Amino acid sequence: MNKGLMIVISGPAGSGKGTVNAHLLATGDFVYSVSATTRAPREGEIDGVNYHYITKEEFLSRIESGDMLEYTEYCGNFYGTPKKEAEEVLASGKNLILEIEVEGARNVKARYPEAILILLLPPTFAVQEARLRGRATETEEKILERLARTKEELAFADAYDYVVYNHDGCDREAAQEIQAILQAERATLRRNAGVAERYFAN
């Protein structure tokens, strides 16, 4: 059985990451990586679904023992990807989705060069802004903060392997495009070392 592929999907608020991921998960070929965090669960969040909630001591000890595939500190809390779970998923042949931001994405790529980094974007910044305002669930301050963050993050767009645009109402097409990317990656020569040897051996 082939090992699964590790895919990092990053995208700004309003890129539709959640819906695109839901389409991928629905195929049964993907598993979503649940991050560990030291921040307290918010109302409605479930341990093991939204995050694995662990103490700072445990988090630091897991960094120490090499069990965090990548991690970052943000506003005094740690966030990271448990390595053992990730490797179990890949060994099972399923593809693993890491939904992390640009810093974490670059850390993953540094440690796992075979990881596939995908940047999911709304078609334009203007569309992103319209989507965020259309939600009407966030304060103006929060919206401006998210838009500013997008500017910061896109400065690192070149760290990604692929850019996928998520047009309005096309979450399914964006998910299909990500599946095509995985199909192509599986066919790359660099993922098929020893082509000639295997060809003649059979």
Contacts with a second copy, residue ranges (CB under 8 A): 119, 121, 123-126, 151, 154-155, 157-158, 160-164, 177, 179-181, 183-185, 187-189, 192, 195-196, 199-200, 202
CB of 108 to a second copy, least distance (A): 16
Q: Which is nearer to a second copy, 65 or 183 (CB)?
A: 183
Q: Which is nearer to a second copy, 49 or 200 (CB)?
A: 200
How many C-beta neighbours within 10 Å does residue 144 have? 13
Q: Which is nearer to a second copy, 4 or 122 (CB)?
A: 122
CA 146 to chain centre: 18
CB of 127 to a second copy, least distance (A): 8
Calculate the CA dihedral of residues 133, 137, 141, 146 and round it to 10 degrees: -70
Q: Which is nearer to a second copy, 69 or 121 (CB)?
A: 121
CB of 202 to a second copy, least distance (A): 4
Name the phi and psi angles at 96, rounded to 5. -105, 125
CB of 99 to a second copy, least distance (A): 18
**Cβ contacts of 72 within 8 Å, gap of 6 or more:** 78, 79, 80, 101, 103, 104, 107
Q: Which is nearer to a second copy, 67 or 173 (CB)?
A: 173
CB of 87 to a second copy, least distance (A): 25
Rounded alpha-carbon distances, angstroms, from residue 131 to 12, 52, 107, 139, 146: 11, 30, 30, 14, 12
Q: What tokens were used for 61?
A: 């000890």
Strands, E assignment, 11-166: 30-32, 36-37, 52-53, 68-74, 77-82, 95-98, 116-121, 162-165
